[in-house]
Homo-oligomer: A and B are copies of this chain.
Amino acid sequence: MTTAKMTVVKTRGISILLVDDHPVVRQGYRRVLEHQDDFSVVAEADNAANAYRAFKSHGPDVVVMDISMPGASGLEAIRNIRARDADARILVFSMHSEAAQVKAAFAAGASGFVTKGSEPAELIAAIRSVARGEHAMSDDVARVLALESLVPTKSALDQLGEREIEILRQFAAGSTKEQIAANLNLSTKTVQNYHYLIKAKTGLRTDAQLVRLAVECGLANL
């Protein structure tokens, strides 16, 4: 309470850390964002580890992060940053808008979620919101999330148990049932049964569809 003033470091301008693994793309965002007078991109990073380092050394007001990076460790990066600074504002900037992915991002500690399909104005507005400590998401993300909160939405993964999810993950990664059984210390038969159960619960028929599901839910990184 009495230390409130201490947290107000910058009343003017929003400093931004940009995280994306594509240099040209990053450069593009940088220009879009710096076109705003009160934005300044103070650092860039091309992977999760560098993002964490850059956050530590620059302490930006907002982190704008593409979570689909090599190693798919985007969510990990969010968790790491939040673990260090629970007040960190992280805005996820993703290609996709799967409900599960969005939820995972927020669960990991993101403050906002904007898709690359959004207009630049939406991204900019979201950054301002996040900087103010609010939560933000682009219209399309909101729509997906709203829809899924109306319909009880068995969003696929929710109906799966922990074991089932783990097996789905390894399966989508390309492991054989035998390998999975060995990894988890189960009988091959059990893994087969889980495989069957997963298909039954999700209503999917094809292994390929399972892989797609896993990827969509952020379980697997293709």
Contacts from A to B (Cβ < 8 Å): 21-25, 27-32, 35, 93, 95, 114-120, 123, 171-176, 205-212, 215-216, 222
Contact = CB atoms under 8 A, between A and B. Distances in A.
A107 B30 CA distance: 34
Max chain B CB contacts within 10 Å: which of A35, A115, A211, A216? A211
A212 B222 contact: yes
A99 to B, nearest CB: 16
B23 A25 contact: no
22 contacts: A23-B119, A24-B119, A24-B120, A24-B123, A25-B25, A27-B32, A28-B29, A28-B30, A28-B31, A31-B35, A171-B206, A171-B208, A173-B208, A174-B208, A176-B205, A176-B206, A206-B207, A207-B208, A208-B208, A208-B210, A211-B211, A211-B212
Given A28-B31, A32-B27, A32-B31, A22 B206 contact: no
A209 B21 CA distance: 24
Number of copies: 2
Nearest to A124: B24
A183 to B, nearest CB: 14
B24 A206 contact: no
A40 to B, nearest CB: 16
Contacts of A172: 208
A93 B25 CA distance: 11
Contact of A22 (B117, B174, B176, B215): B117
Contacts of A120: 23-24, 27
Contacts of A95: 22
